[in-house]
Every structure is written in C-alpha cells, then in structure tokens.
C-alpha cells in the first residue's frame, strides 16, 4: 500500500477508536449523546399517529377550576368529584396524578372546636357529642368512604435522594406488585428509591392500588423520553401510575417479568413486563420509551369544575379510563418532551397507558451496542476503501448515500420491527470520518496564507484590510474574547414580500442583492465587519478583527443610517413595481467570542456568546414597540453623547435577568426641547408603572400620547396598564416584560 493509503487507514482507525470508546462507555461525549437523542426525537415526531384516543380522558384541574373552586380542595369536595365520576358518569377507572400527603383540616371541624371553646362551651351534652359530630365532618373519612370498593389508583412519588433533615417517608404506601421474596430472586437494576411521599393512611387503605408519578429516568437534557414502569423501595417493587392504571383497567391483573432465557433473571436478559395477557418491552432497568401520540390534546380534556357540578358531557366520560391531573400554571405539573418544552405531566401518563393498552411500546434493540459497533465498522470500511478513489463530487455523494442508508435502516427498524436502533452516532461518525479525510486532503493541497487573506476580504472593507496590513499588528483569526457590539437587521414582512415574487424568483434575488448591497456599504463605511447574510437578514459586528474602542458608537451610526439608505432605494423599487422595504435593527454590546469557527476546510469568521444572542432577540422586539432600532443598556453606555428613549425592562427568551432596552434618537444637540421634555415625562411614567401606581402612570402616558409627538410606545403601556388592573402582577414583579419566544 502507498503512504497515502496508510495515512487514510490511520485516520479511519483513530476516529473509529474514539467512537468505540464512547460506545463502550469509557467516556461520555455530550454532543454525541445529544445527536442520538435528536435522531430518536426525529423518528418519534415523524411517526406519531397524531390522533385522539377517546378511551382515556383527562379530568383537568385547569385554570378555570383553579379560579372558581380553588386548590387544594377539601376532601369532601374531592369525594363529590369521585362520586360524580363513578355514579353519574360511569367511568371505568380513576387514576390520581395528585397526592394527598396531609390530613384534611376541614372548616367544619375547626368551627366545631371554636364553638366548643366559645359560645357552646356550657351547652349540656355538646362536649360529649363533639367527637361524633367532628367524625361526620372528617374529610379524609368522607373521601375514603367514597373511594372504597371503586377501581381507583392513588398517586405518590418515590424519592431518589433524601435531603438532610427530611423524613424518608410520609403517609402510607400500597402493596407492591413484586414483594421482597420475589424481588430477592431477581438481579435487575430497578431504579432504587430511598423514601416516598404517600397518601394519608385512610385514603390509601380505601384505595386498591397506587402508582408513582415521578420519573428518575429523565434524560440529561431534561426531556421525558424514557420512563420506568417499576421502581424499588426497601426491597419491594412498585408500579408507575400509568402501569397501575392499566392494570386496573384490565381487571386489576398481576404484574410479572419475562426474561430470555427464562431462567436467567438479570437486567441483561430482562425482555418484558407482563400485566395480565399483555406485555411491554423494557430495558434492563424496566423502563420504556414513551410513544407519544402527538402534541397536547391527544386525549379528551374535561374541566374538573364541570365534572364537579355535573355539567360535563356524559358521552365523553362514560366507560373511560380517567386521569385526574392539572394544566393550571400555578400547580406546576409541566414536563419537557421531544416536541414541546411545556407539556402537561398528566398527558405523559395518558400516552403511556394508551401505548400499554395497544401494545405500541418500542424496544431499545437487544445488543444495541453490538449493532452500533457493526454499523461503525461498515461505515469505516466504505469510507476508507472507496472515498480515496472518488472525485470530491462523487465522494460527497458517497457520504450522502451512507447517511441515507443509515436513516432508512433506522426508520425501517423503528416502524417495522418496533426496535430503537442507533442512528445519530453512526451519522455523526460518517460525517466526522468524512471531515477527517477532507482535512487530510486540505492540508496536502491548500495554501493557508492565501486563503486567510481571501477570507478577511469577505468580512471587512478593503480599506480596513489595508489598515490591518499597514498597522503591523498580529491579526489572529483564532478564537478570543473581546468587548464588541453586534447588529442584527431583518426585513419586516418578508414572507409576504416573497409571496409576491413566487413566479419571479430572479427579481426577488435582484431585490435582495440591492438591499444587502446598500446595507453592507453602510456597515463598511462605519468600520463594521459583516458576519453573515441570513436570507433577508444581515448580521454585523464592530470591534474585530481590529480593536475599536468606540465600537458601540460606530454600530449606532450604521443602524441609524440604515433607514435612510433604504429610503434612497424607494424610487427605484417603485419604478420596478417592487415594494418598499422596512427593517428592524437590534444592537447589543458586551463580551463575545470572535474568530474562525468551523473546520479547516470551511470556516466562518464570526462571533458567539450570550451578548450575541441578546442582540438577535432585541431585533425581534422592534415590531413589539413600533420602532426601527432597539439597543441595550450596554450599547447606550458606549455612546454617552447620544439621546435615547427608554422603552422597557424585558426578559427575553434564554435570560432570567431583566435588560433595559432603548430607542436611539441621535446626538444630544440634535434633539429638540419638546422631545427632551417628553423623555423626562416618560421616565416618570415608567417609574410609576414599575411601582404599580397605575393611575399616575396612566395619566402620564395619556398625556404623552396627546403631546403632539405621539409614539406607539404610549398606547402599548396604556393597554398594559388596563390589563394589569384586571390581572395584577405577582407580588415579586420587577416591572419587566417577559418574552417567551424568539
């Protein structure tokens, strides 16, 4: 073999060894784990049935119930709900995705105690009858009586850790599905709890079953993909809420484990959990992957208030498996799933029950690690033997073909055999090996200096390139942290504009070229660096590659000139029948990582960091406040000679701390006295607003709106004041506006 072949073999062997070590568990790589999770999520999202399962109904302690009935409920009210469900609506099974850890302190009992110590203290016979009267008003006793003899499953949580000073167990727990004697014969690594939060003893004694609703199998990214069906506590094994409800729905059938071969009862050979005639494939710790049916709403929801008052639709509830849970934000029962960061926890249980009843649980393929190693070997062989013999184009097609084959295999096993097989890591391995082979060729054929010069010319104006050359400074493109300013600009309503050019794509391309050309010229003239063009958007930064102590000022100059530059295009656009363009601009200053990001054969000179993300979020807020340009406090501080209009305190997506945002108005000496008075009055209005002095704030904003210099901001705050009067903010409100989306 030639020297080049040996080099390529060495590259393939090195990459394969790195991935093999990760697969064997010698070290973990977050990116690889994330890619495997991403491939799982993609398969799940693309194959979800997205239909509604009417067999399982969620009785929802929703916002309306929370507002009208309160929470927590007296046990007598909960007993009435149970009575309605079974006696009026004839439900099949009731599972509680809530627990009853504390004894009921009913208002009736407290009133009797008060009377016994006060007005009726001397009433003959009252003291003797008091215990019997209180017993009749005992909420736990009332609810326990209503639960008795009915197919109900109470919820509880098992503790994986025990904070110092916290009791190991509270309340009572039901009988296990696998007792200590049977558990002792198994070598299965069940999730092991160190405590539990159960239900008060009278309720648990009245209910035939219980199930845990916690999930010790949450993935590292916080998503609910994997959920255990069983957990162990003090040598006994208890079912999940979903499994216990399914057991009850099937006639309170027993639970057992199946192994292959049957006489080797270890985690490695654990195959299925059996419940009556049905089974569910599990992994070595008795966990399943949740086969979600679809987004929230894949099961009928009925308000608990309607059930309580008997106004719910009987056709929805009759014969249904019912889960009592909540979507009320104040009760905090939301989970992150592969398709939603905010998903009701009760609907996770509903999805599992639905899949258990239908036999839709997918199994992580046996010998999963072996399958992954074989796939890596096959890919390595193809890449090492075939890739060097092909042209770059055909080599790229080979890689695409391998990836397509891996994806097809992954989906075929998923849909056909109901197996979860490796996909993300083999795809990443293919790309990594491809990049390694490309990198090897790049080092053999490239001329680094010439490419470096060409790349600088793509980012900055020629004058700045000449200045860098003349300065004699060491200009590095490697990553470094600097204090800089970033700018994001985006065309408003671009989707509507592009629709008008659906049949004229060449004209849309010409429009974009002229638009980007004008803005790029403005950026270059104010010593900026173009980061990238993103469709209808432009990203630029100041402070690199040459340092600029006044980067915020230069960025503001460019941002304020953007609308003027676009106005010069209006006449030419109108003559061609093109629409006028309007843009939003966001700026932020702060520490950023700047340099070449990417691989040796394809790099981008760019900026990264939290300050960059904030700049992007600010651009998206321009529409909210009716302004063309928004900048942060940090950018404002970099231009003390300018005047700014304070807009708001905001918490953008991804940030917990409020950020002050401003509209730049230009140099101080160019602002007329009337506007300066408005700005003073605006500051007073904002202080009153943030202090929740609604009347004072309303007067100030109303006066500003009638000052002869109106601004959309004033009407926005008048609307917010009206809303806050109807729905007052929380006591710890800091005056900031929270934006949940980008």
pLDDT in tens, 674-689: 999 999 999 999 999 9
Least confidently predicted of 294-303, 471-480, 640-649: 471-480
* Integer Cα distance of 272 and 270 in angstroms: 6
486 CB contacts (<8 Å, ≥6 apart)?
A: 531, 539, 540, 541, 542, 555, 587, 588, 589, 592, 607, 611, 612, 615
- In the structure, what pLDDT confidence band is assigned to residue 454 with cuts at 50, 70 and 90? low
Mean pLDDT of 484-496: 92
- pLDDT for 545 equals 83
- pLDDT for 446 equals 43
Mean pLDDT of 491-520: 89
* Integer Cα distance of 286 and 257 in angstroms: 9
Q: What is the DSSP letter of 605?
A: E
Q: For the chain, which residues make up each domain, given as ranges? A: 3-47+369-445, 56-108+137-363, 477-671
Residue 449: HSE in the Cβ half-sphere, 13 Å Cα cutoff = 0
Please write the tens of the pLDDT for every residue from 371-426: 888 999 999 888 888 877 777 788 889 999 999 999 999 999 999 888 999 999 99
Coil, helix or strand for 518?
helix
Please write the tens of the pLDDT for every residue from 154-189: 999 999 998 888 889 999 999 999 999 999 999 999
Q: Indicate if the pLDDT at residue 120 is higher than 70.
A: no
Q: What are the tokens at 687? A: 């202080």
φ/ψ of 77, rounded to 5, equals -70, -40
- pLDDT for 706 equals 92
Closest by CA position to 481, among listed 588, 595, 587: 595
Q: Indicate if the pLDDT at residue 447 is higher than 80.
A: no
- In the structure, what pLDDT confidence band is assigned to residue 461 with cuts at 50, 70 and 90? low
Q: Indicate if the pLDDT at residue 635 is higher than 90.
A: yes
Distances (CA, A) of 187 to 167, 235, 263, 301: 29, 12, 12, 41
Bridge partners (DSSP) of residue 661 are 632, 648
Please write the tens of the pLDDT for every residue from 93-111: 999 999 999 888 654 555 5
* Integer Cα distance of 383 and 388 in angstroms: 8
Bridge partners (DSSP) of residue 59 are 302, 324
Residue 32: HSE in the Cβ half-sphere, 13 Å Cα cutoff = 19
- pLDDT for 665 equals 95
- In the structure, what pLDDT confidence band is assigned to residue 465 with cuts at 50, 70 and 90? low
Phi-psi region of 657 (alpha: psi -120 to 50; beta: other; left: phi over 0): beta
- pLDDT for 116 equals 54
Mean pLDDT of 235-264: 96
Mean pLDDT of 224-252: 96
Q: What angle do CA 136, 139, 142 make, to 5 degrees?
A: 65
Please write the tens of the pLDDT for every residue from 341-368: 899 999 999 999 999 999 999 998 778 8
Query: Sheet containing 278-281: which strands, arranged edge to edge?
Result: 255-259, 270-275, 278-281
φ/ψ of 545, rounded to 5, equals -75, -25
Mean pLDDT of 122-150: 73
Do 281 and 362 contact (CB within 8 A), yes or no?
Answer: yes
Q: What are the tokens at 272? A: 């299925």
Least confidently predicted of 45-59, 86-100, 568-582: 568-582
pTM: 0.58
Mean pLDDT of 3-22: 79
Q: Indicate if the pLDDT at residue 192 is higher than 90.
A: yes
Bridge partners (DSSP) of residue 239 are 230
Top-level class of domain 477-671? alpha beta
- In the structure, what pLDDT confidence band is assigned to residue 472 with cuts at 50, 70 and 90? very low
């Amino acid at each position: 073999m030639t020297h080049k072949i040996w080099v390529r073999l060495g590259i393939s062997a090195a990459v394969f060894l790195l991935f093999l070590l990760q697969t064997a568990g010698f070290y973990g790589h977050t990116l690889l784990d994330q890619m495997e999770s991403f491939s799982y999520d993609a398969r799940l999202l693309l194959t979800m049935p997205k239909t509604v399962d009417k067999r399982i109904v969620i009785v929802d302690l929703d916002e309306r119930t929370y507002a009208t009935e309160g929470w927590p409920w007296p046990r007598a009210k909960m007993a009435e709900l149970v009575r309605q469900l079974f006696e009026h609506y004839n439900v099949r099974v009731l599972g509680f995705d809530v627990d009853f850890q504390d004894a009921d302190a009913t208002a009736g009992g407290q009133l009797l105690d008060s009377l016994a110590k006060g007005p009726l203290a001397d009433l003959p016979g009252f003291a003797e009858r008091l215990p019997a009267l209180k017993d009749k008003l005992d909420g736990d006793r009332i609810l326990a009586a209503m639960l008795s003899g009915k197919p109900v499953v109470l919820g509880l949580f098992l503790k994986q850790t025990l904070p110092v000073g916290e009791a190991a167990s509270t309340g009572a727990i039901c009988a296990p599905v696998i007792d200590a004697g049977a558990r002792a014969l198994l070598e299965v690594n069940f999730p092991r709890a160190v405590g539990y939060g159960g239900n008060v003893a009278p309720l648990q004694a009245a209910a035939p079953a219980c199930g845990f609703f916690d999930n010790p199998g949450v993935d590292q990214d916080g998503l609910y993909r994997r959920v255990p069906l069983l957990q162990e506590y003090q040598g006994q094994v208890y079912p999940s809420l979903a499994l216990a409800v399914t057991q009850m729905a099937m006639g309170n059938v027993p639970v057992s484990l199946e192994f292959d071969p049957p006489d080797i009862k270890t985690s490695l050979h654990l195959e299925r959990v059996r419940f009556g005639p049905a089974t569910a494939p599990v992994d070595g710790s008795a966990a399943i992957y949740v086969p979600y049916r679809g987004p929230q709403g894949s099961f009928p929801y009925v308000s608990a208030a309607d059930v309580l008052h008997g106004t719910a639709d009987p056709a929805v509830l009759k014969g249904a498996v019912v889960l009592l849970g909540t979507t009320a934000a104040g009760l905090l029962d939301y989970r992150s799933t592969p398709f939603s960061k905010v998903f009701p926890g009760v609907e996770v249980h509903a999805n599992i029950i639905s899949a258990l009843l239908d036999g839709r649980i997918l199994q992580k393929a046996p010998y999963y690690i072996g399958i992954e190693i074989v796939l890596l070997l096959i890919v390595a062989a193809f890449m090492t033997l075939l890739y060097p013999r092909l042209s770059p184009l055909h080599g790229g097609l080979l890689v695409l073909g391998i990836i397509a084959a891996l994806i097809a295999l992954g989906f075929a096993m998923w849909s056909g055999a109901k197996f979860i097989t490796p996909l993300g890591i083999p795809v990443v391995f293919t790309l990594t090996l491809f990049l390694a082979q490309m990198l090897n060729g790049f080092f053999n054929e490239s001329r680094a200096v010439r490419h470096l010069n060409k790349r600088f010319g793509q980012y900055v104006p020629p004058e700045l390139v000449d200045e860098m050359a003349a300065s004699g400074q060491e200009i590095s493109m490697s990553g470094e942290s600097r204090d800089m300013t970033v700018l994001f600009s985006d065309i408003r309503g671009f989707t509507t504009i592009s629709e008008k050019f659906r049949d004229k794509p060449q004209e849309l391309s010409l429009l974009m070229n002229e638009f980007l050309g004008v803005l790029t010229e403005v950026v270059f003239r104010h010593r900026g660096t173009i980061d990238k063009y993103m469709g209808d958007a432009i990203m630029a930064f100041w402070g690199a590659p040459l340092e600029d102590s006044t980067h915020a000022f230069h960025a503001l100059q460019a941002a304020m000139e953007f609308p003027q530059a676009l106005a010069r295009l209006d006449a030419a656009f109108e003559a061609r029948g093109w629409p006028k363009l309007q843009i939003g601009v966001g700026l932020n200053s702060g520490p950023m990582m700047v340099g070449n990001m990417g691989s040796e054969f394809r790099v981008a000179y760019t900026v990264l960091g939290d300050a960059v993300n904030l700049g992007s979020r600010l651009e998206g807020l321009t529409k909210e406040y009716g302004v063309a340009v928004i900048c942060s406090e940090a950018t404002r501080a970099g231009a003390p000679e300018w005047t700014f209009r304070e807009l708001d305190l905001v918490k953008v997506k991804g940030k917990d701390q409020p950020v002050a945002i401003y509209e730049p108005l230009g140099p101080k000496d160019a602002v007329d006295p009337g506007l300066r008075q408005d700005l003073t009055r605006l500051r007073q209005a904002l202080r009153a607003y943030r202090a929740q002095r609604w009347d004072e704030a309303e007067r100030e904003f109303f006066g500003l709106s009638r000052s002869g210099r109106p601004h959309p901001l004033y009407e926005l705050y008048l609307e917010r004041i009206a809303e806050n009067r109807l729905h007052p903010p929380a006591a710890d409100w800091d005056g900031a506006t929270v934006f949940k989306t980008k």
